[in-house]
Amino acid sequence: MKKKEVKYGLALLSLFALLIVVEYNQPEPIDWSHTYSVEKKGPFGAYGLFKLLPGYFKNSKITTARKTIFEIEKDYADSTYNYIIIGDEFNPSNEDIVAIKSILNKGNDVFIAASYFSKEAEDSLGFYTGAKFFKDLNLNSDSLYKKASDTIQLSFVTPYWEKHNNYMFENNHLVAIFDSLEKHPDNKVLAATAKGEPIMIHKRIGKGRLFLSTIPLAYTNYYFTQQSGKRFIEKSFNFLQPNRKILWDVYYHGEVVVSTNPLRFVLENNALRYSLYLTMLGAFLFVMFEGKRKQRIIPIIEPVTNNSLEFIKTVSNLYFSKGNHKNIADKKIVYFFDYVKNHYYIHASDTAFKDRLAAKSGLEEARVNHLLKYIETIKSRSSLNGDDLIKLNNLLEDFFKNCR
């Protein structure tokens, strides 16, 4: 590789390394999506809460549940536990609803926090929810509605109410409340807004208890890092049975598989991920354009020139300049007899040379005899002039052209 190419390569590599450093040190953009993931440290993940669950449930084993409720009920048929499900919506299948009832009938506690519950779940488990937005509409003659307060105050009701224990949340984080409690008298309110709107209830089903909440965002990193939110979470979980295994669901909000890819850290970091892609692209381009076998340019070798004609002309001019016609005639005669010997296999000393040459060459005997007689004449002379040489040449050319 040339020095110039090495210099350009080092410059490109330096720029690439600088790009990695700059991208890596840029602040990570905040992920505001509602993931509820125990792996996510964003505002609405549950990383911090999940890490400190052992502090809320002392002497309890914490396990992530990565299967449907139906499968969990089968896998833990002989165990007692608290089953916690948190997500934006709770839309179980019919089999899962039957499994929930079976889990509760066996004496286990189930805690479900969601902003939306499917109608099947509400009808089967016996409760109703309504959209809080419509409750907040205050119609008057001046506007369609007055803007709701930015914050909302929640508190636990008697007998769970404690003095000075009011909890502040952002108003838009509570989108549903429990409604029509009179239709299900067994539903007991645990927590409500300052207006008395229920946001957390519980009921007994069989030997177990079902806890329901309509503010799932309260159980995320966003509120866990606030003193008010932290106390609300602690108070909520205090209702569950102590000293029992905790099954923390990661199925119903999409966190089913945790990647074990060794490149997981790189792929989760934008700067490192882009750097990896650029490296792979650069390697691909290198293989495409530089991976081919290289060799020096093959020089063009001109084919050897046939100089026979020039040589003949040179020799002829030499003989012609000397005027030695006899010498040229002798050489042409020698060439003639050599041709006859190799072509017709007839030797000049053969007694029947004339007859055999005429027969094999296909020429008339008169023409062959005339040629041979003139050759004998030339051989007998000590010198020749130009006309004699030309006549010999014409007779020989006539023979070569017409013989077979």
Lowest mean pLDDT among 93-107, 247-261, 264-278: 247-261
pLDDT value at residue 263: 67
pLDDT value at residue 145: 42
Lowest mean pLDDT among 47-56, 144-153, 175-184, 322-331: 144-153
- Cα separation, 48 vs 192, whole angstroms: 25
pLDDT value at residue 115: 93
**For the chain, percent of residues with pLDDT exceeding 70:** 83
- Whether 236 shows a pLDDT value over 90: the answer reads yes
- Cα separation, 332 vs 404, whole angstroms: 19
φ, ψ for residue 309, nearest 5 deg = -65, -40
**For the chain, percent of residues with pLDDT exceeding 90:** 32
Residue bearing the bigger pLDDT, 115 or 265 = 115
Lowest mean pLDDT among 67-76, 224-233, 383-392: 383-392
pLDDT value at residue 141: 39
- Whether 334 shows a pLDDT value over 90: the answer reads no
pLDDT-based confidence at residue 22 (cuts at 50, 70, 90): low
pLDDT value at residue 293: 62
Q: State mean pLDDT over 186-213.
A: 94
What residue has token string 């381009």? 285
pLDDT value at residue 210: 97
- Cα separation, 272 vs 266, whole angstroms: 5
Under 8 Å between Cβ of 154 and 215: yes
Q: State mean pLDDT over 312-337.
A: 78
Q: State mean pLDDT over 258-264.
A: 57
pLDDT value at residue 96: 94
pLDDT value at residue 292: 63
The DSSP code sequence of 2-46 is -HHHHHHHHHHHHHHHHHHHHHHHSPPPP--S----TT--STT--
Residue bearing the bigger pLDDT, 176 or 319 = 176
Nearest residue to 394 (alpha-carbon basis) of 362, 366, 370: 370
pLDDT value at residue 359: 87
Specify the DSSP element, H or E, that contains 100: helix 94-105
Distance of CA 38 to the CA centre of its chain: 27
Under 8 Å between Cβ of 174 and 215: yes
- Whether 20 shows a pLDDT value over 50: the answer reads yes
Tell me if the pTM is above 0.85.
no
pLDDT value at residue 144: 40
What residue has token string 């911090």? 48
pLDDT value at residue 4: 58
* Mean pLDDT score across all residues of the chain: 83
- Whether 112 shows a pLDDT value over 90: the answer reads yes
Burial 251-272 (b: 16+ CB within 10 A, else e): bbbebeeeeeeeeeeeeeeebb
